[in-house]
Amino acid sequence: MKLLCSLVGVAFLSACSSNPSGVDRSVAPTPPERVVASAVAPTPAPKGKLVIVGGGGTTDEIIQRALALAGGKDARMLVVGQASSDPKAGEESRVFWMEKGATNVGVLDLSDPKAALEEVNKAAFVWMPGGDQVRLMAAFDGMSPILDAIRKRYVEGAVVGGTSAGAAVISSVMLIGGDKADLKSVRAGGSQTSPGFGLWSEAIVDQHFVQRQRFTRLLACVLDHPELLGVGIDEKTAVVVANGRAEVIGESTVLVIDARASTRRETKAGELLSADDLKLHVLRRGDTFEYLPRAK
C-alpha cells in the first residue's frame, strides 16, 4: 500500500509541484474491498470569477487583480460584512477599498431585505471580509432570495471574493472547525463542516492554511468528501477561479489535495482514515490547476 504519510516527504512534494497545471482523473482498477472516489461531474462554468484570499491581509496585487476582473476601479462594489461581530466592519472594509482606489463601494444592509436585494442585483463585485463564517451564514438565515441573488450574479458574470471567513464560506462544504486537539490524527468526521454559499461547488476551501498548520483538518475533510478538491490557501495569498481553472497569486503557498481518483477503505465515524493514490499540489504565484474533469 502506498502510504499516505509519504505526502509530507520532500521527494513527494517536489514531484507533485512539478506539474501543477493539470490533474489525472483516471481511476485504476480497485480491489473489491475498497471504495473508489468518483470524479466531480462537469457543470457549465459561471461567467463570473472568484477571488479567494487566505486571510492575513489583502495585498495590493490581489486588490488590483480583483478590481480589474470586476471592470476597473469604478465597478459597483458591495461589501458583505456580516461575518464580523463588529457592526462597523462593513464600513471599515468600504473605506479600505476606497483608499485602494475603488470609487463605487456600498455596504450590504440586511435590515431592509428589499433594498439589499436591489443592491446585490446591481453589484459587479461582491466582497466578504473576515470574521466567523458561521456568523456570516447565520446572517442569511431567512434571506434565501438575497443569497440566491449573490449566486445568480456570479453565474451572470460578477466577481465574488472574500478573505478568511469570507473565503471559507465560498465552498458548498464549509469548514468550521477541527484544527487543534481533535485533529492530532486523521479520523473520519474529524473536521467540522456546515453548508456554505456553494459558489465553488467543486472544492473545499481552507484559509490561514500554512500559518495555522491546517493540513490535517483539510485532509480529513477531503477524505470524508473525496469527490471535492481540498484547497488550502495561506495568508496574503489568493486563488482566482474562472472557467475550470484556478490561478495562485500573492506571497505564499496554496496546497491542493485531490482524492477524486483515490481508493479508500470503508471507515466508520471516529475511526482512522485510510486511502491510497491521493495527489498533492504545492503551488505558488503564477501556478495554475484545473478543477473540472477534462473532456474525454
CA–CA gap between residue 295 and residue 285 (Å, rounded): 27
pLDDT mean over 227-255: 97
- Residue 40: the pLDDT is 36
Question: Model confidence at 11, in pLDDT bands (50, 70, 90)?
Answer: very low
- Residue 185: the pLDDT is 87
CATH numbers and ranges of domains, the chain: 45-290 (3.40.50.880)
- Residue 182: the pLDDT is 62
Predicted confidence (pLDDT) per residue in 14-58, tens digit: 333 334 334 333 333 333 333 333 333 334 579 999 999 999 999
pLDDT mean over 263-279: 93
- Residue 180: the pLDDT is 56
Lowest mean pLDDT among 10-19, 220-229, 248-257: 10-19
Predicted confidence (pLDDT) per residue in 97-125, tens digit: 999 999 999 999 999 999 999 999 999 99
Please check the confidence at residue 259 and state whether its pLDDT lies above 70: yes
Lowest mean pLDDT among 23-27, 62-66, 167-171, 290-294: 23-27
- Residue 57: the pLDDT is 94
Predicted confidence (pLDDT) per residue in 161-215, tens digit: 999 999 999 999 999 976 554 678 899 998 999 999 999 999 999 999 999 999 9
- Residue 179: the pLDDT is 58
Predicted confidence (pLDDT) per residue in 139-158, tens digit: 999 999 999 999 999 999 99
Residue with the bigger pLDDT between 177 and 75: it is 75
